[in-house]
Structure 1
Amino acid sequence: MIRTNDTFKTSVNIKFDLGKKEFINRYLPTPSHAESLIGLLKGFTNSTNSKAHMIVGPYGTGKSLIATIVGGIVSKQVDRETFKSLQSKFNKVHDEIYEELNNVTDNPTTYLTVALNGNEGRFRHAILNAIIRTLNENEIDIVLPGQNGKIIQVVELWEEKFNKTFKAFKRLLAENDKDFKLWRLAILNQEKEEIDWFISIYPELTAGAEFFVDYQTDFISQIKFVLDELKRKNLGLFIAYDEFGRMLQTLELIQVHETMQDLQDLAELTDHYEDNLHLLLITHRNLSQYFRVFQEEFRNEFQRIEKRFKSYYVESDSFTFIRIADAYLKGASPENIHLNDVVNQLRKYPLFPELNQQELEKLVIEGVYPIHPVTLFLLPQLSSAFGQNERTLFTFLESNETGGLKNHLKKTEDYYLPSDLFSYFFPSIHDIDVSGDGLESLKIYKKLISKTPELEKDKIKSSILKMITLWELSGLHARFKLDTDFLMFALNIKKEILIDSLNQLVALKAVRYNRVLGYWELQEGSSFFIDELILSRMPNLNNSKNKQVKALENCLTKRFYLANEYNDVKSMTRYAEVQFVFEKDILDENIDFIGNRTSNKADATLYYVILESSHHYNELVSKIKEIKDDMSIFCISKYSFNIVKEAVIELQVIDDLLKDVELLNQDKNLKGELTLKREDVVYIIQEFISKYTAYNNDCDWIYNQKEIDVANEINLEKLLSDIMFSKYPLTLEVRNDSFNRKTVNNMQRKAGYKVLDHILNSYDQNNLGIEGQGPEYLIYATIFKNNHFDLNNLDNLQSVELASLREDLLNYLENNIQGNLQQFIEVMTNDPYGLREPLIPIILVALLRDKWDQLMFYRNDMYVAGIDGETLYKMFEEATEYQYVYYRFSEEYDNFFMHLESQFSSYQNELVSKKPRVIRLSSGMLTWLRSLPRITQISNNMSEEQRTFKELIRKSEINPQDTLKKLFALYKEDIEFVTRNKKSLEIHFPMYLNSIEKEVNKVIKVESFEDARNWAMQQEPAIQKRNSLVKSLLKTSGAKKPIEEFISTFSGVEIENWSDRTSEVFNQQLANEYKSVSNSSGIDEKSIEIKYNNKVKSITNVELSTKSQTIYNNINRMIRNAGRNVPREEVEYLVYKLLEEIIE
């Protein structure tokens, strides 16, 4: 028979339990209480310590008990024997608390414990009323300032407005032998007896209302007054405000500022006024957390106020609870459990690591029976998360409600299982709001029992669901995984019964076993049968070998292995990438090993070879041993692909299903269920892949045609380092992880452009002209400064790697004066250098800087001009599209080049001022040629020598070196010939203009252009109006350049933009227009001449169209009608102006 301790009490109320010795006698020292006890006691024993305290902790952690014990001690309500009993509990357990308990008894001041709990109204009223109540309870005669005035004010109000009440009051005075005037005088003199009498009879006169003083004046002054009065009596106050958080939670917005100020003032008063005031606030959270719904200003203010208190945090202490539960349960040792089995289970699952073997047996297994050990472990976790005052560790022991321990003991002496706690913490699951954070498991449980009500009727299935739900809510999977064995122990069920129930729950989509994490969890399934859905999609799957390889690689937990030792020495990252390959591809020689590495940008490749048939294993090993590739490592698993093939296919189908939006929209839970199914499938595949990384006899390793021993991952990475040291011993060390890599981000790339620009244009300056501490300086420092790389002393480089690379580049250049840009990249990326791509443009230009001006680049046989850092980087990205030519001009060219510079240097573009000599010469000649009039540039109507000179200069844009060589070949014997041709082309245009003028005079048969204009003026007005030759000549009157004006007007094209064809058309048009004038036979009958002011205007007489007649009628009507109020002279002048402006 299990008995309970009837004197056991689970909850504490400071107001009612102060000084009761049973609490002290039953108190067990708890580690989580130590800090708060020391802090509180030191406040009483040493005036320099803080006297404003705050204890924060979850429900049921003994916060109120601490306040009750300390309050009992400092109020001297604990008898000596009980106090000694308490003190002895800390002797040899906690010396500091033991010492402080000794010290606190020496304090001569007796502290009255002022207890408050929860929301007792406005903070200042609650504090003052509690103080008054405590003073009255202890029969201490102190009248707070304001009480007497309030009483007089109330009585005067009765006398003035409530005559009936006033008469009743006077009757009570008479019945108590009191004279009104003498009583009033006593009140004014603050006589405590009379004030207390009035407060006692006040409810009788006011229908039960209590007398209330509104201490609206100075809250702190009132408390100071009390403290001063108590100081004279050698008394003090210990204010303990329990459940202070409840007051804050119900605080109205309009009271926030007042409460904050009062709380701050009270804390400051406590620590800085007299020593006879101590304050303790007890909450479940920090103050600022109660104000999440308020604006940030309030939260921050409460956070500052909180710092004025010394805070202590207490946690749920399971060991203390075990001892209390042991004290509460006074039954005999359990007879219906197998002690050894439970002991073994607790060894397997160390739920209570702080207890030794004897404590486990005597307390956990026997002492607290029938509470199951897992229940004992789970209960504190749930209490911290979901407990309230009525649901704590301790109230559980005496609870008669469903799920409570007493209720359980009335029904059975069997184990109280952890699943039984569900009913205790969630007695009405259907009424619980599960929308909050951290309640996802409870939400799923609620849906499961709503969808399948019979689950609640099946005791075992219900227990499993509740157990999983509670475990997930408590977040305990990280400590003990809820696998089948643990469930069997926790629920005290036989394994076969448990497995059968679990299988049924799986079929109902209520639970699933998480293969990845290794525990059971709740599942909210969809309406689809997932396995059938997957099978239905399999026939349509494109299940190629490439798809299977991709699926396997997506399941790799590690895709890259680093050559760590090599990387440390060279300050870079070289690695091998993992790739799967089927045996058939190796046997059929379908693999491009080098191409794979290039496309994947890996330094080496680790091939996981997939065995498709165990019969081919020996043949496969032999074939791999024939492969000659020193950057490929092969790992061959002895496990056939057939064991995982179905899972690989399933994974591909699931991935396709997860992309089917239309299907997923049919059931909101389908995506989640497919995702969970995918996790299971991936787990199976990863189990297969793990064979390759087990480094045991299940795999054979082959490298460089030999079988090797790879014992572990460290061994593999050592092999990779050895390979890299052998392959790339002369890799330049560049300590810049952001730049010395396969690919770089845009910021680093732009920094590379800038460094390259400095190498091209400022290579002779200190630090290449790079200043500051930006990414470009880091590139400069790590490539040039750290490696003593001097561009002005390239033949004496200190770096062995750079010297060797320059030698190889120069040898290649001397032997290949033209070629492809890709060939430079291959020299630098292949062994023994193996440089990363972003480094190549910078290091190549730098190492060949003394030869760079003699290198020309072409794309599609077109010269690439204006090369800068950004252009060069882009050229290297498409290196196969660019060709180079290395030009080496001998000394015999020097005089010729100097002569060209004397003629054309003034035309050079500033942008090429620091470019190679060839580029400067080409730029000068091209700029000069383009400065000439277009007719001069393109006309062929000149000498052969002039045409050849122009053509060679034009070709210098495409191939400047070839142009200079040809110019030299033509004019080396007569350098001045260049000068003559240049001058002849510069005077070509004025001569050409003069020839046109002569041609015009010749056609018209006059001596000068002025005569030609006079000829035009003599023509009839009709001809002047219609003939373009005559009209154009007339328009030159007054022009600064009459011949150019005539040409532009007559041909419609500026003379500077003429071509040879334009010239031909001009001559033909000139002849035709002159002929037209010559063939004219006087005045046309249809012509009308108007002569005025020595002018003659010709108009053709035509029949008006309908539209023209309408215009005429409108104008005529407007002039006649509007002209009635206008002088005739103005109307005539108006018609004259129209004639002048419209008629040519």
Structure 2
Amino acid sequence: MQLSELITVAPRYTRAINLERDAATPGAIDGYTVTITAREFLNRLAQSLIAPAGHRAWTLTGPYGSGKSAFALYLANLFSPSTAAGNKLARSILKEQQPETYQLLFGGGAKARVSKEGFCPILISGAPEPLLGALLRACCRDLRPFYATSGRPPAALKELEGYRDAYQEDRTAVSQTDVVEALARVIQHLQESGKARGVLLIIDELGKFLEYGARDQESGDIYVLQQLAEATARFNPTGFLLVTILHQSFERYAADLRPSVREEWAKVQGRFEDAAFQEPPEQLFSLISSAIKHGNHKFISALKKQAREQAEEAIKLGLLPRGMSKAEFVEAAEHCAPLHPVAVLALVRLSRKFGQNQRSLFSFLTSREPHGFANFLQQEIDEDGAPCFTLSDLYDYVAEALGSGVGVGEGATRWAEVQSSLDKAAQSPPAELALIKSIGLLSAVGAYGGLKPSREVLQFAVAMPARAFQRAHRSLLQNSLIVERKHSDTVALWGGSDIDIEERLREADRRVAEGTSLAQKVNQLWSPRPLVAKRHSFQTGTLRYFSVRFSDMASFSKSLEVPGDADGLLLYCLPGTKSDFESLVELAQGSKVREQLEVLIAIPREVNALREAIRELELLQWVRTNTPALQGDAVARRELRTRLAAVEERIGVELQRLFSPDGQSGQSTLWFHHGIRQEIPTARTLANFLSAICQQVYPATPVLRNELVNRRHLSTAAAAARRNLIDAMIKNGGEQRLGFVGTPPEIAIYASILEHTKIHRPEGTGYSFGEPSGDDGLTAVWKGVKEFFKHCELQRHSVKELFDLLQRPPYGLKMGIIPILFCAAALAHDTEIAFYQDGAFVPEVTVEVYDRLIRSPEKFELRRYRVEGVRREVYRLMAQLFGKEGGPDSEHLVSILKPLYRFFNRLPQYTKQTRNISPTATAIKEALFSSKDPDILLFSDLPRACGVEPFTATEAVVEDRLNIFFGLLKGALIELQRAYDDLLSELQSLLFKAFNFAEGDARERIRVRAAGLVDHCVEPRLKAFALQLQDDHANEAAWIEAVATIVVGKEPRLWSDTDRARYEVTLADLVRSFRRIEALVFEESARLEQGRKPEHILRISVSDRHSHDLEAVVVVEPQDSSKYAQAVVRLDELLEQLKLADNPELALAALSSVSQKYLSELTDSGQSKGKINKGRAEKKVRHGK
């Protein structure tokens, strides 16, 4: 009889799950094991069913073969209506294996979270196609049966079927929104008709849809996921559950997309709650035990007895997996027989290292590959002894199944060593080969609990008699195939090395002095993790931790200072001698320690074992640094790394023994706080005591539950959200929820910090910031901020002072949240608090100012202003000037000065620099520009600018002086406000004057002239000038601004007084050029109208320092062209004869004098009397301009 006749593998493990195919097969979940991960997710689902705002869209993420699809199939059957084929089996499995979860979901009768109607499962298996098409097919396939026997299908289901058919014809014909809305209406009908609680939509292999969506973003339909996730929140009671399954994180699928597209995908991902789906090793052990089935036979009894004995031996060796009780382990080992317990533990580790978890496990159990479990079961039963599948058998299977795959990636070197050792021992007995394989396999999978290649574990794992093991072990040692590593109590394969690590350690011991204190060495070589005050952190929402530091007698006093970011200090004192111990106890009870509530001190009686471990670590590090040959010796490097890891682990264990109350410290370690000895017997006592210290040190810590910003340092995303929130606080403080739309990250910060605490609340017809209300502890913080503002009345104080105050006891706020609370308080006192940066007043506080303030709070100062005496009357008149309500009792100086500064800052640059204004306006402008203090500006600088004495805080009211001051101030401000408009008006007048037009219709007349000239202008600047002159769309101000910009080459707003003068000169030049071209164009046009096309048209102009300019447009008629040509030739010859050809200046001067004579005659003969036409009054020959 073969073993396979008595031992089988459950059928459900023999093939992979396909969600759509196996949904109709109830037996597909027969034998399903509800694992720890599955139970936890079911518990989360149960909570969401009763939470009105709970998560109802999840992503199960886990590696290949981790059982996600099997769980999805089980979940679909579990939540289906009680009449469904697989529901009864699914519920019975849960009730038997996880009764508490069963009660959570189905207990309570009519009030059960999942009623007998259940959910209609809609199941989708991923494929490389658009998700929308698969969704439509699945909806129509899985919803239609609910209406097959009774009831009329809702119109929405028929709509879905119509969408499905239309989508098959044309993918663009169907809207995602329409599909989701139709599905929502079907869910509503299911609830109202009582046919089902709702819909459970499961999308397996979602990654295939995401990969398709990444490749084809046009038709990938990825955003339908977002709409589906959002739809789950519509129903109360819960009617729509969405579960998706991925093999890797969502963002990995979008890694190669454009940043903007990745951001959009991230928004989709944000609608889902991620749930990790990977079983712990002990759960995989239980899965194997549930997969192996035994028949009834006396041989099976013997096999189970052997397995029981092996399990008990494994427990003695410390191989009991974490999370399993002894009884559970023994029972599981029985069910796993004939697999040896060590082989099962190694298989679990191998499946996670090299394969696909459960899929690898069950491939091992079911495959017919050589050396596999199914092949092992083909052997005949031996009545004399029970067979056992050992580590060496498992090695043979792995080497065969993975082949070259074990030679790459993680652990490749280890596998190569095993093969090398087997090659060297090829002629050795089977026992020695089995031992080599066992050592190699345990080394390859890595230490897990007590699963390491120690001599005891190996003797147990190879399942051979003790003498045979000792013989094989001794032979391998003698042949240098294995080596014992005493530092780690393990046996390892010997790869060969030229470096003797032991000799190098002896050399290090000779060279490295032991003079440095133990505490100093531990601080240098060891970095213990901080301890968190968990209860206090949970209660307040503010993470608090204690930094750990080591000290001794010499450094005790210096070591009491708490590190910057930490909330407290746990000081571990290391005595060198008994005398040191007694002295440290005295110091721990001294006055200096009693002043520091945030320090907890621990003093062990002896630290010899720790001293030895630290010394060994020191020596090993010296060997690593001072042995150059290590670079070329991989074996020695690996041995050194192994030793370092072992000694570091030993140090951790020793520190745990000394300073963990649950360790072996007992009464050997004394604890002190505030100079008083404390009894701390357990780790829980220590954790609670740390929280109690935090409560003492930080009694005014508010309850702020927002992990995004309630921390010391913010992520980039959190910092951006905080910035957006502060920006909205400044700009939209009067709006509900600060004007936020949707659910950006900053809305969660707003809700927890500003809305929940009533800091931002309704007031009148809008919203405002004010003192918090409620018992969340923020009132004390707000009071502290107000006290700080009060201190700012007498003198300015740095913002850093306030930030430091809020971080110190009793508040202990974190820097991530302080700027938000500070901004709220500053806005609540906006009319009183003035900001200064580097000593200069900041008239308008924007989010950019806060950016700088958060980066460098030491550069910013605050001052609070109150108005008294005659200054109140000054304030009242200033309020009237700016149209604000105010009275003699007002004390809000800043609220008046901000509009004044805003008025000045918004003036054009021209107005700020021009001197073409009155002396008073100039003086006021300079006072506003140079002032650094609002108080001095209003009551001293501005009065002096108006020629009035400053107003002191104690003097009486003098009405005449006040009236003179405000009369002059008002007039000067109006002058400043009008200065730029006056400039534009003057520029326009100069333009009209240049064209000899009065105001009236001057612009239209200039436009007409320019329109006729644009096409004849060649010079770029003149052409641009003409183009702008003909513009009839812009208003007067914009038109003259554009013209002036072309004339000077700079916008008038940016002009200086020099630019204003340059405008007048340049305008005259441009207008002259305009007229010259205009004259030529007119003459040519006039002759063409008469049918006489001229041969040449020339404009001639001559000027000298004694007479007016003479100019004329002369025309050469066609009949005179011959004479014209002869005259040109003769004149040229004459100039040659007179030897003027080589002197162009003299030649031109002679020609100009002759031209001047003829121009005068032409003028005297009256041939220049003709007008161009009305609107173009331009002479052919002009004197002067």
How does the TM-score come out when normalised to structure 2? 0.48
Name the larger-Rg structure. Answer: 1
How does the TM-score come out when normalised to structure 1? 0.49
